[in-house]
Amino acid sequence: MLKFLNFVQMLPHDTERQLKAIISGKVLPGVTKTLLKARNSLCTAFEPDRTVKTNFEGKLLVKEKQVAVLKEWAKSEACWLEGLPVGATYLTRGGESQVYQAPETHFVLKLNDAVYYATWLEYLDSLAIHNILFPDTAYELLGFLEINEQLYALLSQPAILTDGQAALTDIRKWLENNGFTNTKGNDYIHKELGLILEDMHDENVLMMDDLLFFIDTVFYIVEPS
């Protein structure tokens, strides 16, 4: 039987405050994780944009400017990478990521160019939100690299060994129990937090010991209702 946990109600106060700060586009003070430091570098230079999936082409210049900021930041923080780690083995390609087996077999590596997002800040916000809501499958940002003049983020994520197929009905029940409302297909919205969560099908959610593990999430931030 599927086990239900309400992550929103269970968040520690400091974590909930951090989540709301990310959603509101604020710089996070005192952070040490590379992902949040990279996000902060963009927050100090760019205003957050909550007009989801509109004027993608119009935001291209903003995205290009953010690439320049991230490259300079990564080089100053010693997380500009020349390539993948030695021993990384290609596994597959998902909708937005190239997936590799890390040399440490209990992790996978994901190479992502933020193609689903109008800006890099939107993408880093999505990763930060995922890490708060789904800590068991949290991403670690290892750094940035360039392939064929395209910027990529290299992420590490715990590998989940599944013991069953996650059913779409179970995913929907789990999300609804945590305040999300189904909008269409496999897309959801959390009106109180102001979050859109898309493409929650059974390849992006794994099951182990009757628990669901969200491994690939696409979050967009909108104004809370």
- At 33-54, the pLDDT tens digits run 999 999 999 999 998 877 666 6
Does residue 42 lie within any of the structural domains? yes
What is the number of other CB atoms lying within 10 angstroms of the CB of residue 97?
21
Same domain? For 122 and 174 the reply is no
Q: Is residue 181 classed as helix, strand or coil in its secondary structure?
A: strand
Contact of 173 with 2, CB cutoff 8 Å: yes
Mean pLDDT, rounded, for 9-29: 84
- Judged against a pLDDT cut of 60, whether residue 135 lies above it is answered with yes
Q: Which of 195, 135, 205, 194 is nearest to 172 (CA)?
A: 205
Instruction: State whether 113 and 151 are in the same domain.
Output: yes
Q: Within this chain, do residues 212 and 139 fall inside the same structural domain, yes or no? A: no
What is d(CA 222, CA 191) in angstroms, rounded to the nearest whole number? 9
Please tell me the total count of domains within the chain: 2
Greater pLDDT, 89 or 163: 89
Both 179 and 206 in one domain: the answer is yes
Q: Is residue 163 part of a domain?
A: no
Burial class (CB in 10 A: 0-12, 13-18, 19+), 195: buried
Same domain, 88 and 175: no
C-alpha to C-alpha distances, 157 to 9, 47, 136, 148, 199, nearest whole angstrom: 25, 29, 9, 25, 19
Sign of CA dihedral 8, 203, 36, 189: negative
| Owning domain of residue 35 | 13-158
Residues 145 and 119 in one domain: yes
Q: Does the structure show a pLDDT above 70 at 173?
A: yes
What is the reported pLDDT for 223? 75
For 71-123, how does the pLDDT look when each residue is reduced to its tens digit (9 = 90+)?
999 999 999 999 999 999 999 987 789 999 998 779 999 999 999 899 999 99
User: How many residues in the chain?
Assistant: 225
Q: Between the CA of residue 89 and those of 48, 100, 116, 202, what are the distances in Å?
A: 36, 5, 24, 24
pTM, rounded to two decimals:
0.92
Inter-residue long-range contacts of 6-12, CB under 8 Å, 24+ positions, other chains counted: 6/177, 6/178, 7/133, 7/134, 7/178, 8/178, 8/179, 8/193, 11/132
Residue that has been written with the tokens 């496999």 in this structure: 186
Amino acid at residue number 86: V
**Helix (H/G/I), strand (E/B), else coil: 17:** helix
- Please compute the mean of the pLDDT values over residues 114-140 and round it to a whole number: 94
The reply to whether 73 and 144 lie within a common domain is: yes
Boundary residue ending a domain (158, 186, 207): 158
90 and 121 co-located in one domain: yes
Based on the domain organization, do 177 and 94 belong to the same domain? Answer: no
Query: Are 38 and 149 found together in one domain?
Result: yes
* Spatial separation of the C-alpha atoms in residues 199 and 218, rounded to whole Å: 7
* Listed range (9-23, 69-83, 187-201) with the worst mean pLDDT: 9-23
Q: Is 224 helix (H, G, I), strand (E, B) or coil?
A: coil
Name the band, by pLDDT with cuts 50, 70 and 90, for residue 183: very high
* Domain match, 175 and 99 both: no
- Please indicate, yes or no, if residue 3 is contained in any of the structural domains: no
